[in-house]
Structure 1
Amino acid sequence: MHIVLFDTPEAHRALLPLTFTRAAALLRVGALTVAEKWRRLLAAEKLYIQTLPYLQSLYEVPSQLEETLYIAGNLLPNADLLQAINTLAPGEGLMLDNKLLAMRASKPLPAQPLEPSKSIEWKGDCKLLQMPSDIFRFNGEQIRFDFDLLVHTAQPAKILDSHTVIYGKDNVLVEEGAQLRACVINAENGPVYIGKGAQVQEMSVIHGAFALCEGAVVNIGGKMRADTTIGPYCKVGGEISNSVFWGYSNKAHDGFVGNSVIGAWCNLGADTNTSNLKNNYSTVRVWSYLHNDYVDTGLQFCGLTMGDHSKAGINTMFNTGTVVGVAANIFGGDFPPKHIPSFSWGGVHYGWQRYHLEELFKTASRMMQRRGKQLSREEMQVLTYLYNQNEEEKQNGYSVVV
Structure 2
Amino acid sequence: MNIIFFDSSSLRTHLLPFTFTRPVADLRVGILTIKEKFETYFNQYVKNSTENTNHSEIASHTFSFLTQDYLQEKFPIHFEEKETVNLYINGAVLPNLEFFEKLEMLPLETAIFSDTKDGSELIAFKTFTQFKSVEKFYDFALKVAKQKTEKISIRFLERTWDIFRANKQEIEKDFDLITTGRKSEAITDKYTVLYNEERIFVEEGVTIRAAILNAEKGSIYIGKNASIEEGATIRGSFALGEGSVINTGSNMRGDTTIGKFCKVGGEVSNCVFFGYSNKGHDGFLGNAVIGEWCNLGAATNCSNLKNNYGTVRIWNYAEENYEKTELQFCGLLMGDHSKSGICTMFNTATVVGTGANVFGEGFPPKFIPSFAWGNGNHQTKFVTTHIDALFKTAERMMVRRDVEFTEVERKLLTKVFEETDNYRFWESNPMFS
For 1:382 and 1:401, the matched residues in 2 are separated by: 26
Report the structure, 1 or 2, having the larger helix content: 2
Q: Does 1:60 align with 2:58?
A: no
Question: Which stretch shifts more, 335-344 or 82-91?
Answer: 82-91
Specify the alignment match of 1:81 in structure 2: 99
C-alpha contact (below 8 Å) 2:229/2:247 kept by paired residues: yes
Q: Does 1:351 align with 2:367?
A: no
Q: 1:243 to 1:357 in 2, by over 3 A?
A: same
Q: 1:158 to 1:256 in 2, by over 3 A?
A: same
C-alpha contact (below 8 Å) 1:185/1:205 kept by paired residues: yes
C-alpha contact (below 8 Å) 1:341/1:401 kept by paired residues: no
1:399 Cα offset (Å): 12
Structure 2 gaps of 5+ residues are: 44-59
**Could you list the per-position Cα deviations for residues 138-173 of structure 1 after superposition, in whole angstroms to 9, with x for gaps in the alignment?**
000000000011104766311111111000010000
Specify the alignment match of 2:150 in structure 1: 121
Give the TM-score of the pair, scaled to structure 1. 0.96
1:55 Cα offset (Å): 0.9
1:378 Cα offset (Å): 1.2
C-alpha contact (below 8 Å) 1:341/1:400 kept by paired residues: no
Give the TM-score of the pair, scaled to structure 2. 0.89
1:63 Cα offset (Å): 3.3
Specify the alignment match of 2:50 in structure 1: none
Q: Secondary structure at the match of 1:121?
A: strand
Question: Which stretch shifts more, 308-317 or 59-68?
Answer: 59-68
For 1:366 and 1:399, the matched residues in 2 are separated by: 34
Q: Secondary structure at the match of 2:239?
A: strand
Give me the CA root mean square deviation.
Answer: 1.9
Q: Does 1:265 align with 2:293?
A: yes
Specify the alignment match of 1:385 in structure 2: 415
Specify the alignment match of 2:395 in structure 1: 365
Specify the alignment match of 1:179 in structure 2: 207
C-alpha contact (below 8 Å) 2:2/2:61 kept by paired residues: no
For 1:173 and 1:57, the matched residues in 2 are separated by: 36
C-alpha contact (below 8 Å) 1:249/1:265 kept by paired residues: yes
1:123 Cα offset (Å): 3.6
For 1:326 and 1:399, the matched residues in 2 are separated by: 21
Aligned length: 401
**Could you list the per-position Cα deviations for residues 9-67 of structure 1 after superposition, in whole angstroms to 9, with x for gaps in the alignment?**
21111100011100000000000000000011112763101101111111221232211
Identical residues among aligned pairs (%)? 45
Q: Secondary structure at the match of 2:343?
A: coil
Q: Does 1:32 align with 2:32?
A: yes
After superposition, residues 290-305 of structure 1 pair within 5 angstroms as 290-305=318-333
Specify the alignment match of 1:109 in structure 2: 131
From 336, 341, 352, the counterpart of 2:369? 341
For 1:257 and 1:278, the matched residues in 2 are separated by: 14
Amino acid paired to 1:163: Y
For 1:361 and 1:372, the matched residues in 2 are separated by: 16
Specify the alignment match of 2:283 in structure 1: 255
Query: Which protein is bigger by CA-based radius of gyration?
Result: 2
For 2:112 and 2:338, the matched residues in 1 are separated by: 38
C-alpha contact (below 8 Å) 2:246/2:264 kept by paired residues: yes
From 153, 165, 173, the counterpart of 1:137? 165
Question: Which stretch shifts more, 360-369 or 391-400?
Answer: 391-400
Q: Does 1:46 align with 2:74?
A: no
Question: Which stretch shifts more, 96-105 or 114-123?
Answer: 114-123
For 2:79 and 2:237, the matched residues in 1 are separated by: 40
1:135 Cα offset (Å): 0.2
Which structure 1 residue ranges, 4+ long, deviate > 6 Å from structure 2? 395-400
Structure 1 gaps of 5+ residues are: none
Specify the alignment match of 2:305 in structure 1: 277
After superposition, residues 169-318 of structure 1 pair within 5 angstroms as 169-318=197-346
Q: 1:74 to 1:241 in 2, by over 3 A?
A: same
Q: 1:281 to 1:183 in 2, by over 3 A?
A: same
